[in-house]
Amino acid sequence: MKQLAVFVSGSGTNMERIANYFAENKTAEIAVVVCNNPQAGAIQRAKRLGIPLMMIDRAMMYRSDDLVNQLEKLQIDLIVLAGFLWLIPQNLLQAFPNRIVNIHPALLPDYGGKGMYGEKVHQAVIAAKETYSGITIHFVNEQYDAGAVIFQEKFALHPDETAASLAQRIHQLEYAHFPRVIESLLEK
């Protein structure tokens, strides 16, 4: 069975969907949830799901090889960023080449980069009067949201679209597609 490490900073809804998806089809499992935010809702979700949790700080992420060593010890096949807000350091990128993926709540390359996450993305899309939005699943590199695109799905915005309604529609796309794209990457 393939081993996943899911990195989170927030509520953990995508992490929970991924866990439930693989609990049903048994091709992979989340070996560890890595969290950088002691207030994250994902912590309680991981505990409720019985998934091991690893709390990290900036020193562990950026100034040591401890995180890389622990992930290698767990024989992680793929690192999945699901609402993780820190830039991935070079030592992690080198240890897991083309094995770190992220989901972004917009159609990259637009509305990506440092500071573009969650509600901020949806507000920017609405403010720009875009006619489409969607999700992008991409490989992670040394820049925010700049890795090679793996998958995109889009939809037309409603004339009365709000940031809140757009967020709900984006979440539905994320829940539907992210686990399947992860599974397809594990099959390669």
Please write the tens of the pLDDT for every residue from 28-67: 999 999 999 999 999 999 999 999 999 999 999 999 999 9
Q: DSSP code of 160?
A: T
Query: Mean pLDDT score of the chain, rounded to an integer?
Result: 96
Q: How does DSSP assign 100-129, residue by residue?
A: EEEEESS-TTTT-STT--THHHHHHHHHTT
Would you state the pLDDT for residue 79?
Answer: 98
Per-residue pLDDT tens digits for 61-109: 999 999 999 999 999 999 999 999 999 999 999 999 999 999 999 999 9
Given 104, 122, 138, 158, the catalytic residue: 104
Is 138 noted as a catalytic residue in this protein? no
Model pTM greater than 0.75?
A: yes
Would you state the pLDDT for residue 188?
Answer: 79
Distance CA 4, CA 17 (A): 13
Per-residue pLDDT tens digits for 95-146: 999 999 999 999 999 999 999 998 999 999 999 999 999 999 999 999 999 9
Six-digit token string for 55: 């709390």
Is residue 109 reached through a cis peptide bond, with omega within 30 degrees of 0 on the bond before it? yes
Would you state the pLDDT for residue 84?
Answer: 96
Q: How far is CA 109 from CA 2, 7, 113, 135, in A?
A: 30, 22, 9, 11
Assigned superfamily of 2-186: Formyl transferase, N-terminal domain (3.40.50.170)
Q: Which residues contact 105 (CB under 8 A, 6 or more apart)?
A: 117, 118, 121, 122, 135, 167, 170, 174
